[in-house]
A and B are shown apart, each in its own frame.
Chain A
Amino acid sequence: MKTRLKLKIMTGFFLLASLLLIAGAISISEFTKLSKSVNSLIEDNYKTINAAQAMLESLEREDSGILMLMLGQWEEGRIIIESADSSFMLALNIAEGNQTEKDEDIYVAAIKESYSKYRDKWKKPIVNTEKEGNIDWYRNNIHKAFLETKHNVTNLMNLNQESMHAEAYDLKEESRRAIMPGIVAIIAAFIFSILLNFFISKYIISPIGNLSEAIKEYNPGQANISVVKSSDELKKLESEINAFLERLIRDSRK
């Protein structure tokens, strides 16, 4: 009985605090997930996309090197091809070690296979053979293998780009999910404080006002004061006042 009024007010503030705390906790958890997602977006897809771009660039350089060999420029051609080959292999190793999407291993294996065929073709001597200046040989062998490898690298790049777009969309949704509990909690807390204010006014302030008005207008001989409807400390105060008034009247009669 003694703690009821206190309990009511405390419950109100406790619920208000809980609302804000829960919203805060959810927002923090969602933002943590969000930052992890941003990292993974950069780590997972962007790294492979860069590697694929490096592979495409290397392929183009290798193709130029082969054309130089076909023109009989052995020295320059070999330098370009070997440098492009080593940068292609480096990029391929990065892509191989950064497989994060479903079936990405199949895409990488396809690149390895087609590149190996392509490599076999230009590893063999070209200068001073029948291949030198032979455009038909280039079209039927080299260019075909070049296009196949390029196609496989593009597929890998597309896979990662699509995944990056999807993840970017998810990030947008995740950021919304991180922000919304906070916004909703602020609005809810505002409405809740109006409600709390209404109840405090209705069940605490108003009865005190009514009680003080009733005491002011009290005449000896009239019935007991009965203005408090609730059954908490205020009701107890009302009955104490009634007992006190009765005592006063009794004493004054003596």
Chain B
Amino acid sequence: MKKEIIIKHLGFIVLFNGAFLFLAWIISVFNHETSSIPLLFSALICLIFGLFPLIFVEPTENISFNEGLAIVVIGWLITCLIGMLPYIMWGGEFSIINAWFESVSGYTTTGSTILNNIETLPKGLLFWRSSTHWIGGIGIILFVLLILPQSKNSQLTIVNTEISQLAKMNFQYRSKKIVRVLAIVYISLTLLETILLTVFGMSLFDAVNHSFATIATGGFSTKNMSIAYFNSTSIEIIIIVFMLLSGMHFGLIYGTLARRKENIFRSPIVRSFIIVILIGIVLVAIKLYLSGYYSWWESVRNAAFQVVSLGSTTGFATKDTASWPYFTQMILIYFTIQCAMVGSTSGGLKFDRIYILLKSLWKQVKLVHHPRAVLSIRIGNVNINEQLERQTLLFIVVYIVTFFTTTLILTMMNVDSFTAFSASIATIGNVGPGFENVSSLGNFSSLPGAAKLVLTLNMLLGRLEIFNIIAFFILRKNN
């Protein structure tokens, strides 16, 4: 691994953050806010740290997988540190731990917050907060679609199964193409949502912030009441559609727009994902109606929003789900564990792995009846080899063990069991809100400082998919 190459690329990441800090500073200056100096100083630090490596390090060719992995893991930690700078310099509710929590929650597109009163934040800081989602979202897409497929065992990369044709292209061609695809899909979706939200009554500032948070499946809102503040069916429908799209493989969205064979309409994963979401909505809506919470229409409206919000790992809210019947809470917890699809901005376990798990179970059932049969798992036209199947099952086990361990650690800190459990799965899944004390319209401020640190580790593990962090530390040891 060449350290200077890693530092240079980290410089680019820092500069990218700096550009958004400058934008946030302009907003702050325009509104005569107290956050202007913290934002400006943070931007200048980014400029200084980002530019410096560019002066020393000569232009380089391709980066290796190991360097790519190091750039992503270290880059994520550095951006989280940069992200907390404006918060700690501004003050208010931001202690050092709270600033770190908010920053990690932003970049990992989790959307959990420690803020009791979001609306007291200056507009510049609100924009920066949403920007961390947007930067984190594009970062994870680049990582998953660009860096991971370079692995020596790229057949083990689950992301390739959905876009096998694209994955087979050589790196030079693929990297250029993927960056272009990404830029088109990511920016277009953000612009389109911003326009639609503005047309349907949101202010431009709120529309931009909510679009950033939706496309990155983050969930930070500019309002204490989240989407409930707007009380608008059309705004909720727009956000539901974009949350669903952001939960899908970005390569497939591009394929759909480019009228390619690999598109969202032909993908068996997308089909199954939508069916599961619809079943979830129906079950939650029926229970809400029968329990006398809302009218039919309101039950469907709230069920659809909350199921898609948690199912896509966004975490916006229109109602406080902590007061809903336990059955609906259990359904929502399932979606918090399941999460959306690989190749999207969503985090956590991913629906694709659940799909492979179910197929694998079915294969085992068949093998009981026909022990000598040679069976394989297929997703559409792509064969899932046994190695990938084993790795997927192992990932699920490690994932479950991780969030149970976190739950245990939180209960050790006297956090009640349901809060601890839901906070653990909501953070490792990068979903955001949990239940009880950390519910959809609540926040994480009441948790002890150490618990907040454990949860930020959870967010990073969920975002970088556990194995990549382990791989990074093994690489560091072997280099």
Interface of A with B (CB < 8 Å)?
A: 7-8, 11-12, 15, 18-19, 22-23, 26, 30, 172-173, 176-177, 180-181, 184, 188, 191-192, 195-196, 198-199, 202-203, 229-231
Are A11 and B38 in contact, CB atoms less than 8 angstroms apart? Answer: no
Which residues of A sit under 8 angstroms from B289, Cβ to Cβ? none
Q: A23-B41, A30-B37 in contact; A12/B58 too (CB < 8 A)?
A: no
Closest to A175 in B: B91
* Residues in B76-93 with C-beta less than 8 Å from chain A: 85, 88-92
CA distance A173 to B88 in the complex (A): 11
Interface residue count for B (Cβ, 8 Å)?
23
Chain B: minimal CB distance from A7 (Å): 8
Closest to B2 in A: A202
Are A202 and B4 in contact, CB atoms less than 8 angstroms apart? Answer: yes
Are B3 and A198 in contact, CB atoms less than 8 angstroms apart? Answer: yes
Chain B: minimal CB distance from A24 (Å): 11
Q: A184-B45, A192-B48 in contact; A8/B55 too (CB < 8 A)?
A: yes
Are B38 and A180 in contact, CB atoms less than 8 angstroms apart? Answer: yes
Max chain B C-beta neighbours (<10 A), residue from A173, A176, A192 = A176
With A19-B45, A192-B52 given, can you name 17 additional A-B contacts, CB distance below 8 Å? A19-B48, A172-B91, A173-B90, A180-B89, A180-B91, A184-B88, A184-B89, A188-B45, A191-B49, A192-B48, A195-B7, A195-B49, A198-B3, A199-B56, A202-B3, A203-B56, A230-B58
Select A22's contact among B3, B44, B85, B89, beta carbons within 8 Å.
B44
CA distance A12 to B52 in the complex (A): 7
Q: A8-B55, A23-B41, A230-B58 in contact; A173/B34 too (CB < 8 A)?
A: yes
Are A15 and B91 in contact, CB atoms less than 8 angstroms apart? Answer: no
Which residues of B sit under 8 angstroms from A12, Cβ to Cβ? 52, 55
Closest to B42 in A: A184
Closest to B40 in A: A26
Complex A-B: 21 CB contacts under 8 Å: A7-B55, A8-B56, A12-B52, A15-B48, A19-B48, A26-B37, A26-B41, A173-B34, A176-B89, A177-B34, A177-B37, A177-B38, A180-B38, A180-B89, A180-B91, A184-B45, A188-B48, A192-B49, A195-B52, A199-B53, A202-B3
CA distance A176 to B89 in the complex (A): 7
Chain A: minimal CB distance from B182 (Å): 29
CA distance A246 to B92 in the complex (A): 69
Which residues of A sit under 8 angstroms from B7, Cβ to Cβ? 195, 198
CA distance A191 to B92 in the complex (A): 27
CA distance A214 to B197 in the complex (A): 66
Are A177 and B56 in contact, CB atoms less than 8 angstroms apart? Answer: no
Does B51 sit within 8 A of A, measured CB to CB? yes
Closest to B52 in A: A15
Are B55 and A11 in contact, CB atoms less than 8 angstroms apart? Answer: yes
Are B91 and A173 in contact, CB atoms less than 8 angstroms apart? Answer: yes
CA distance A23 to B38 in the complex (A): 11
CA distance A30 to B4 in the complex (A): 37
- The digit string for B290-311, where 1 denotes a CB below 8 A from any CB of A, is 0000000000000000000000
Are B51 and A15 in contact, CB atoms less than 8 angstroms apart? Answer: yes
Which residues of B sit under 8 angstroms from A23, Cβ to Cβ? 41
CA distance A196 to B55 in the complex (A): 11
Are B56 and A19 in contact, CB atoms less than 8 angstroms apart? Answer: no
Select B85's contact among A15, A177, A184, A199, beta carbons within 8 Å.
A184
Q: A19-B44, A231-B58 in contact; A180/B88 too (CB < 8 A)?
A: yes
CA distance A190 to B51 in the complex (A): 17
Are B48 and A181 in contact, CB atoms less than 8 angstroms apart? Answer: no
Which residues of A sit under 8 angstroms from B90, Cβ to Cβ? 173, 177
Chain A: minimal CB distance from B15 (Å): 13
Which residues of A sit under 8 angstroms from B37, Cβ to Cβ? 26, 30, 177, 181
Max chain A C-beta neighbours (<10 A), residue from B85, B88, B89, B92 = B89
CA distance A199 to B49 in the complex (A): 13
CA distance A122 to B423 in the complex (A): 69
Chain A: minimal CB distance from B2 (Å): 10
Which residues of B sit under 8 angstroms from A8, Cβ to Cβ? 55-56
Closest to B92 in A: A173
Max chain A C-beta neighbours (<10 A), residue from B7, B48, B49, B51 = B48
Chain B: minimal CB distance from A28 (Å): 12
CA distance A22 to B42 in the complex (A): 11
CA distance A172 to B91 in the complex (A): 9
CA distance A191 to B90 in the complex (A): 22
CA distance A225 to B422 in the complex (A): 64
CA distance A19 to B44 in the complex (A): 8
CA distance A192 to B85 in the complex (A): 16
- The digit string for B9-44, where 1 denotes a CB below 8 A from any CB of A, is 000000000000000000000000010011001001
CA distance A188 to B89 in the complex (A): 14
Max chain A C-beta neighbours (<10 A), residue from B4, B41, B56, B89 = B56
Which residues of B sit under 8 angstroms from A15, Cβ to Cβ? 48, 51-52
Are B48 and A18 in contact, CB atoms less than 8 angstroms apart? Answer: yes
Select A11's contact among B3, B45, B49, B52, beta carbons within 8 Å.
B52
Which residues of B sit under 8 angstroms from A177, Cβ to Cβ? 34, 37-38, 89-91
**Lowest 5 A-B CB distances belong to which pairs?**
A180-B89, A199-B56, A176-B91, A173-B91, A15-B48
Chain A: minimal CB distance from B40 (Å): 8
Closest to A173 in B: B91
Which residues of A sit under 8 angstroms from B89, Cβ to Cβ? 176-177, 180-181, 184
Which residues of B sit under 8 angstroms from A198, Cβ to Cβ? 3, 7
Chain B: minimal CB distance from A206 (Å): 11
Which residues of A sit under 8 angstroms from B48, Cβ to Cβ? 15, 18-19, 188, 192
Which residues of A sit under 8 angstroms from B88, Cβ to Cβ? 180, 184
Closest to A23 in B: B41
Chain B: minimal CB distance from A82 (Å): 50
Are B49 and A188 in contact, CB atoms less than 8 angstroms apart? Answer: yes
